[in-house]
Amino acid sequence: MTTRHSLLLATATAAFTGALFAADADLILHGGKIVTLDPAHPTAQAIAFKAGRIAAVGPTAAVLQAERGPKTRLIDLGGKMVLPGLIDAHVHALSAGLSEYRGALPPLDSIQSIQAFIRERARKTPKGEWIIVPRTLPPRLAEMRMPTRADLDVAPDHPVAFDGSYVWSANSMALRVSGITRDTPNPPGGEIVKGPDGEPNGILRNASQLLKGAQKADPFTDEDQLRALSKMLELYAAAGLTSVGDRLVTEPDVALFEKLHAAGNLPVRVVLTWRPDAQRPVEQVEKEILASRWTTNQGDDWLKFGTFKVTLDGGQSVGTAYQRMPYGPFGRQLYGQTDPAARGTLFVDPEKLYRIYRAASSKGWQLTAHVQGGAAIDTLLDVFERLDREKPIAPMRHHVMHGSFLSQDAIRRMKTMGVALDAQPDWLYYDVPALERVFGIDNMRWFFPLRSVLDAGIPVAGGSDHMIGWDKNGAVNPFNPFFNIWMCVTRRLRTGGQFYPDERITREQALKMYTTGAAWIQFAEKTRGTLETGKLADAVVIDRDFFTCPEQEIRRIEPLLTIVGGKIAYRSPRMTASTKN
């Protein structure tokens, strides 16, 4: 390179740097408590944003003097606290957006409330058309059991289906129009549960595909889906989230996100997880993976691909998670199980999983699997170890998704391979009261043992698994990050008391699950997770001091401002700080 070219390059670089740090910031927050999570400078009083980046963090007087220009917008925080932008690493934005797109859902917390919902829908739905009870999890019902045909027969002129995730229920008319009788054979891996009289009692375990028309009831147009998705992302911003990881997308879903991005209408950053249908022959899955144009980190700071996913087992909430131990007698009441020795279902055998992952690895994918049961976790780690022997997997940050029933050995293996965890703390609050009856308190020892995992040096990303509902506190599952952080800190149950309190973590550790931990698992630690000069301008202003407020108030913290890319994505009516140029 010639001296002249070197001088030109140096001049251009200096000009760019000078533009970023010139005294003309777009927005300055000052007079507050800035929590940076930067070990070198953990707190500050002011922060300046310019061109979507953080231009300065420090004392109020210094930041104002260095960064304030004639067009700079100033917000006096009046002592309020600012946190790095919060990240929910695990949501299902489209299904959640669609769930209340046509109307608000009532709380579905008992069979009685489900029956009231069905009766109300029946008054508005023409006879003969399907009524679908949106996804509701049996452990969270007051009765702690699956609804049966008899429970759903409150609208006899309509086929009715109850969506319990991997297990559904159907009323008499739904069974009739679907041709399901006592003589209908069980589908592969599924069961038509029968009552003492030998007739179907309405519970369909891994067999909802037998319901003819239920899956296609009330279709949404592309425009409906686009609007619902946009609304849900706005609600995430209002909850204080600046980034989310959508953990199950297909090609049509990707197209919706890309439309919002192209129009500049993403209120929060989104990282996508692709889950192809792994139930097909392995050759078909491999072919689709190798032909796909997608891979990890393809995209930009607003929208990119993160992880490749396989659903390896079912759910603990419906007794299909693949466990190390049987579900036992209480599984009959809670899940409608007929075999007390049942341990759940493994949807993909280890050899097939290995072949799928090998194809995805060859395309540069970060890998994960939905695994809730302990035996499913062990199966996943077996396959990860096989891959690790061929080539170290740690650089790709593979992780266990959910990982509800861990073990000391699983934690050891994860640490050895550099495997991380995508955890859902809210399940402690909602599901432990029922699961204790199924497995016993002693066998629940390693249910989300967050302190043990963090003490082992395993990265943890916090996520809600939000899938239904627009209310951040009443949704399935709640996407209020402060509720989930509160659960990490307290491990308190909805029935009272604490669950293995030795596994509680500190406030700072919990906050990092939703900032630095989630950013790391998304390959974004250099741009997100902390408030440092040069990083993306993502932050949230909250209404009280996160570190000193009473413990029970953590779940009640409210965002006042959510800032994404230096722009206000949400402003609470309660935000009364003065604003001026």
Separation CA 359–CA 396 (nearest Å): 15
Strand 46-50 and strand 27-30: the pairing is antiparallel
Residue 337 domain-assigned (yes or no): no
Count the domains in the chain.
3
**Sign of the C-alpha dihedral computed for residues 131, 136, 140 and 146 taken in this order:** positive
Question: What are the pLDDT tens digits along the chain (581 aa)?
Answer: 443 333 333 333 344 444 445 689 999 999 999 999 999 999 999 999 999 999 999 999 999 999 999 999 999 999 999 999 999 999 999 999 999 999 999 999 999 999 999 999 999 999 999 999 999 999 999 999 999 999 999 999 999 999 998 899 999 999 999 999 999 999 998 999 999 999 999 999 989 999 998 876 678 999 999 999 999 999 999 999 999 999 999 999 999 999 999 999 999 999 999 999 999 999 999 999 999 999 999 999 999 999 999 999 999 988 999 999 999 888 888 888 888 899 999 999 999 999 999 999 999 999 999 999 999 999 999 999 999 999 999 999 999 999 999 999 999 999 999 999 999 999 999 999 999 999 999 999 999 999 999 999 999 999 999 999 999 999 999 999 999 999 999 999 999 999 999 999 999 999 999 999 999 999 999 999 999 999 999 999 999 999 999 999 999 999 999 999 999 999 999 987 455 66
What is residue 179's predicted lDDT score, i.e. its pLDDT? 97
What is residue 576's predicted lDDT score, i.e. its pLDDT? 72
What is residue 15's predicted lDDT score, i.e. its pLDDT? 41
Domain endpoint, select from 216, 238, 253 = 216
Residue 328 domain-assigned (yes or no): no
Sheet containing strand 53-58, strands side by side = 53-58, 46-50, 27-30, 73-76, 579-580
Separation CA 554–CA 17 (nearest Å): 39
Which CATH number goes with the domain that contains 363?
3.20.20.140
Residue 338 domain-assigned (yes or no): no
385's CB contacts (< 8 A; 6+ apart) are: 413, 417
Separation CA 425–CA 108 (nearest Å): 21
Separation CA 170–CA 157 (nearest Å): 13
What is residue 4's predicted lDDT score, i.e. its pLDDT? 38
415 and 451 housed in the same domain: yes
DSSP code string of 133-158: EPP--GGGSTT-S---HHHHTTSTTS
Residue 475 domain-assigned (yes or no): yes
325's CB contacts (< 8 A; 6+ apart) are: 343, 374, 439, 443
Which CATH number goes with the domain that contains 47?
2.30.40.10
Residue 95 domain-assigned (yes or no): no
Helix (H, G, I), strand (E, B) or coil at 222: helix
pTM above 0.75, yes or no: yes
Going from the C-alpha of 299 to that of each of 128, 239, 258, 305, 347, the distances in angstroms are: 46, 25, 10, 7, 31
What is residue 581's predicted lDDT score, i.e. its pLDDT? 60
503 and 545 housed in the same domain: no
291 and 397 housed in the same domain: yes
Q: Which residue's structure tokens are 């144009």?
A: 293
Domain endpoint, select from 494, 521, 548 = 521
428 and 408 housed in the same domain: yes
Going from the C-alpha of 39 to that of each of 84, 507, 516, 532, 541, the distances in angstroms are: 13, 16, 12, 10, 20
Q: Which two tokens stand for residue 493?
A: 């149950």
Residue 98 domain-assigned (yes or no): no
Separation CA 150–CA 174 (nearest Å): 12
285 and 392 housed in the same domain: yes
Strand 46-50 and strand 160-164: the pairing is unpaired
Residue 97 domain-assigned (yes or no): no
Residue 490 domain-assigned (yes or no): yes
231 and 368 housed in the same domain: yes
188 and 261 housed in the same domain: no
261 and 384 housed in the same domain: yes
147 and 276 housed in the same domain: no
26 and 109 housed in the same domain: no
364 and 495 housed in the same domain: yes
Which CATH number goes with the domain that contains 164?
3.10.310.70
208 and 75 housed in the same domain: no
In this structure, the chain runs to a length of 581
Q: Which residue's structure tokens are 């109850």?
A: 162
Closest CA to 336 of 324, 327, 345: 327
Q: Structural domain of residue 112, as residue ranges?
A: 103-216
- Phi then psi for residue 25, to 5 deg, are -60, 150
